[in-house]
Amino acid sequence: MAGDPSTPGLAAAVSAAGGLGFLAAGYKPAERVAAELAAVRAATDRPFGLNMFVPGGRPPDPAAVRAYRESLAGEAARYGVPLGEPRADDDGWAAKLELAATVPVASFTFGCPAAADIARLRRAGTLVLVTVTHPAEAVHAADAGADALCVQGVEAGGHRGSFGEGLTDLALLPLLTLVRAAVDLPLLAAGGIMTAAGVRAVLAAGATAAQCGTAFLPATEAGTPAAYRAALTDPARTTALTRAFSGRWARGLTNRFLLEHVGAPAGYPAIHHSTSPLRRAAAAAGDPEGMALWAGQGHPLAHAAAAADLVDELTP
Ligand SMILES: Cc1cc2nc3c(=O)[nH]c(=O)nc-3n(C[C@H](O)[C@H](O)[C@H](O)COP(=O)(O)O)c2cc1C
């Protein structure tokens, strides 16, 4: 869970409790990821995973990004900060791939690594997971040599891992059923799973494991800011898919920013960098209306507890 929620303490606590904790590499410099990996290793000798963003995808339309940035002038004035540079980058891909070769499990989102990169990781002893949101993406990842797939339904919190064309909106159960029929790999089901009964349901539908994000946002060890934690169970909020914060589709709790910028174009990572100072300023002010409050559809059941207790609760 890239951004504030992911901490070495959370990943280590989940793994120590018998789950498979993941450290997010996304958005961070590779040097910080290396330091955080050391912290996870110092805290547990159990296996854990590292999650990375795969660069690439269709380049955004510069005119659409420019127009969207102009529409954010009021936000910059509201939070008293300039927009960030709309730069393109690859999130430190090469350096993070080196780090991925040192961990037991590496998972990828936003794309499928090249077959040669997957083969190199597997030779290094790293199990490779690729996130998919459509059966065609599952076939692509299987052909590229992935060991297993994270099957992410549209219910899921955070960014869609999609790398095919267009927005796919398959809910977890039909997606899992279609992917199960398309490929013969272990599947980790993700999206809206908040209880042990939910875990049992995806196991019955053909998954080998469940992947939970939102359930761990209020964990004691998570870095989730207080205003974000409070918003998770605010009865006035639902979730929606939005490109307003990053230029990539992601599911978050409804707030002022999301609702006022429903027409945001594709434009990752230019829009992510553009809105970053706004989101930081909103977070510093404790204002959930300008923060990216990523959450899945099961968010009302999120509750604070030590990560080990949450793992226990979710274990069928
Ligand atoms: C706050 C947050 C941040 C996330 N960041 C990432 C990420 O960095 N990489 C990734 O592969 N998935 C990320 N996800 C998606 C999760 O891997 C997973 O698909 C999702 O949390 C499952 O749905 P759920 O939140 O309803 O449990 C994130 C989800 C949330 C809620």
| DSSP assignment letter at 125 | T
Decide whether any atom of ligand 1 lies within 6 Å of the 156 Cβ. yes
Average confidence (pLDDT) over 187-197: 98
d(CA 150, CA 187): 6
Q: What is the CATH superfamily name and number for domain 1-55+90-220+302-316? A: Aldolase class I (3.20.20.70)
- Whether residue 166 is predicted with pLDDT greater than 90 in this model: the reply is no
- Whether residue 165 is predicted with pLDDT greater than 80 in this model: the reply is no
* Alpha carbon of 139 to ligand 1 centroid (Å): 22
Neighbours of 175 (CB within 10 A): 27
- Whether residue 313 is predicted with pLDDT greater than 80 in this model: the reply is yes
Average confidence (pLDDT) over 167-185: 95
Neighbours of 314 (CB within 10 A): 20
* Alpha carbon of 167 to ligand 1 centroid (Å): 17
Decide whether any atom of ligand 1 lies within 6 Å of the 189 Cβ. no
Decide whether any atom of ligand 1 lies within 6 Å of the 19 Cβ. no
pLDDT of residue 57: 84
Average confidence (pLDDT) over 290-298: 98
Structural domain boundaries in the chain: 1-55+90-220+302-316, 62-87+238-292
Number of H helices, E strands in the chain: 13, 10
Q: pLDDT (tens digit, 9 = 90+) per residue, 17-27?
A: 999 999 999 99
- Per the structure block, which two tokens stand in for 99? 């780090």
- pTM across the whole model: 0.98
Q: Which atom of ligand 1 is nearest to the CA of 27?
A: 8
Residue listed under structure tokens 């992510």: 272
Q: How confident is the model at residue 298 (pLDDT cuts 50, 70, 90)?
A: very high
The runs of H, that is alpha helices, within 44-133 are 62-71, 73-79, 93-100, 115-123
Element (H, E) at 159: strand 158-159
* Alpha carbon of 59 to ligand 1 centroid (Å): 23
pLDDT of residue 65: 97
Q: How confident is the model at residue 51 (pLDDT cuts 50, 70, 90)?
A: very high
* Alpha carbon of 295 to ligand 1 centroid (Å): 8
- Whether residue 167 is predicted with pLDDT greater than 80 in this model: the reply is no
Question: Burial of 235 by CB count in 10 Å (0-12 exposed, 13-18 middle, 19+ buried)?
Answer: exposed
Decide whether any atom of ligand 1 lies within 6 Å of the 298 Cβ. yes
* Alpha carbon of 155 to ligand 1 centroid (Å): 11
